[in-house]
Structure 1
Amino acid sequence: MTLFGYRLPMMSSLIVWVILWEIIGRLELLLLFPPFSEVILALGDVLTSSSFAEAMRITAISYVAGLAIALVVGIALGFLMGLVPTADKMLNMWVNTFLSAPLSALVPVFMILFGLGTPTVIVTVFMFAVWIIALDTRAGVQNISPSLIEMSRSFGASRFERFKITLFAALPEILAGVRLGMIRGVKGVVIGQLLVSIIGVGALFSLYQQNFLMAHFWALVLLLFTLALTFAEIVARFEKRIEYYAGARS
């Protein structure tokens, strides 16, 4: 970002929003937004509470389980759509539909099917993450240079070896889907636990709302945002390394 000919660091816009947040909180223009300084102070209370540790343990289990299933199903589905045109024609519309659909409306259905507990949250994380992983994997497989596959066949590569070649060539797009799926998975675990309202961070959100502890509420929101962005940045850095590696094989 450039201002009056001076190049400002990327964090400058964030600092501006923090200052505006602090001003709005101090002037009490919106009761839902306490001063940002109070949110930072509340962050210490949230992190050191025993309920937070237990909530994050439950949330982490739900998130990792749902994301793991989404990775397996999403990558397999993306390969199927990318390699088999008939399957692509049959499934592409449904995958795009679920990707753009308001999945929050399906959580009550999951609650009826799987009960008020961790299984519902796992399914919610899976539904939020799997479709973008499948579509990005499909795009990666379909964008592979045909000459790469022809060359592997001419050298007598087995079916499994051709699959490995396809996997590595499509890896940048697969990792892009994984990165977006991880972010959407965080949204899914929070929404699932909020609607269930008895486990994990959803229970903490409900507790803070009911007692109007808005500083603690926003501290928890900031913490979850930070975790989601950190996970996404880790995958993005790995994605940049793989992009060059796979580009040499196109």
Structure 2
Amino acid sequence: MTLYGFRIPKFAALFFWIVVWEIVGQFELMLLFPPFTEVLAAMTDVVTTPSFVEAARITAYCYLVGLSLAVVAGIGLGLLMGLVPAADKLLNMWVNIFLSAPLSALVPVIMILFGMGEPTVIVTVFMFAVWIIALDTRAGVQHVSPSLKEMAFSFGASRVQRLKIVLLSALPEILAGIRLGVIRGVKGVVIGQLLVSIIGVGALFSLYSQNFLMGHFWALILILFAFALSLAELIGRLEQKVEYYAGARG
């Protein structure tokens, strides 16, 4: 962004909203928004407590297991839809429905099926992340150049080798889907822990809100945001490094 001939970095907007947050908090206009400096001070208190360490362990386990399953299933489903037209016609509508549906409403159903524990949270993360991964994988597979497939076939490539070529060519879209799935998965793990089995960070959110510890509450939200954005940034960097595969489809 350029203002009066000066180039302003993107993160300047972040500092602007931090200043606004601090001003609103200092004037105590809203009980829910303590000063940003108070949130930063509470962050140190949050991350050093034993309850946070245990909550982080449970949350990380549920998140990583659910996301791993979503990546495997999403890529497999996307390959099926992208390579088999009949499967695409059968599944595409349902995948889009689940992607756009309010999945939070399905959490009680998941709870009935899987109980009040970690399996429900894992399934919730899976449900939030798998559909966008599947659709992006499908898009990548469908944009693979037909000439690339014909070349592989003419050189006598096996089915496994041809599938590998398709995967490499669709890799930018697959990574884009995983990056979006990472962010949606964080939302899923928090919703799952809050609405289903008050464990992990969900238990801390309930504790802080019930005791009006809003500084700690917002500190925990910032920690989760930083976690999600850091993972998305790492995948985004990997995505940039493999963009040259897209040239094979040109």
Tell me which interval the TM-score lies in, with the shorter structure as reference length. Answer: over 0.9
Q: TM-score, normalised by structure 2?
A: 0.98
**Distance of 1:85 and 1:246 partners within structure 2:** 22
Per-residue CA deviation, residues 56-103 of structure 1 (Å, 9 max, x unaligned), is: 000011001100110111000000000000000000000000000000
In the alignment, is the contact (CA less than 8 A) between 1:196 and 1:202 conserved in 2? no
In the alignment, is the contact (CA less than 8 A) between 1:25 and 1:33 conserved in 2? yes
1:183 aligns with 2:192: no
Unaligned runs of 5+ in 2: none
Per-residue CA deviation, residues 6-35 of structure 1 (Å, 9 max, x unaligned), is: 111111100000000000001111110000
Q: TM-score, normalised by structure 1?
A: 0.98
Specify the alignment match of 1:66 in structure 2. Answer: 66
In the alignment, is the contact (CA less than 8 A) between 2:148 and 2:248 conserved in 1? no
Q: Percent identity?
A: 72
- 1:3 CA displacement: 1.6
CA-based RMSD of the aligned residues comes to 0.9
In the alignment, is the contact (CA less than 8 A) between 1:25 and 1:34 conserved in 2? yes
SS of the residue corresponding to residue 163 of structure 1 reads: helix
Specify the alignment match of 1:81 in structure 2. Answer: 81
**Distance of 2:203 and 2:117 partners within structure 1:** 12
My pick for the range that moved more, 193-202 or 97-106, is 193-202
**Distance of 1:114 and 1:25 partners within structure 2:** 42
AA paired with 1:174? I
Report matched runs for 1:49-198 at 5 Å: 49-198=49-198
**Distance of 1:249 and 1:128 partners within structure 2:** 30
| Equivalenced residues, count | 250
Q: 1:82 to 1:245 in 2, by over 3 A?
A: closer
**Distance of 1:181 and 1:82 partners within structure 2:** 19
SS of the residue corresponding to residue 29 of structure 2 reads: coil
**Distance of 1:245 and 1:91 partners within structure 2:** 27
Per-residue CA deviation, residues 170-206 of structure 1 (Å, 9 max, x unaligned), is: 0000000000001100000001001125210000000
**Distance of 1:196 and 1:213 partners within structure 2:** 22
Specify the alignment match of 2:42 in structure 1. Answer: 42
In the alignment, is the contact (CA less than 8 A) between 2:171 and 2:245 conserved in 1? no
Q: 1:96 to 1:226 in 2, by over 3 A?
A: same
In the alignment, is the contact (CA less than 8 A) between 1:171 and 1:242 conserved in 2? yes
SS of the residue corresponding to residue 63 of structure 1 reads: helix
In the alignment, is the contact (CA less than 8 A) between 2:137 and 2:177 conserved in 1? yes
**Distance of 1:2 and 1:171 partners within structure 2:** 34
Please list every run of at least 4 consecutive aligned residues from structure 1 whose deviation after the TM superposition is greater than 4 angstroms.
none
- 1:135 CA displacement: 0.0
**Distance of 2:211 and 2:71 partners within structure 1:** 38
AA paired with 1:11? F
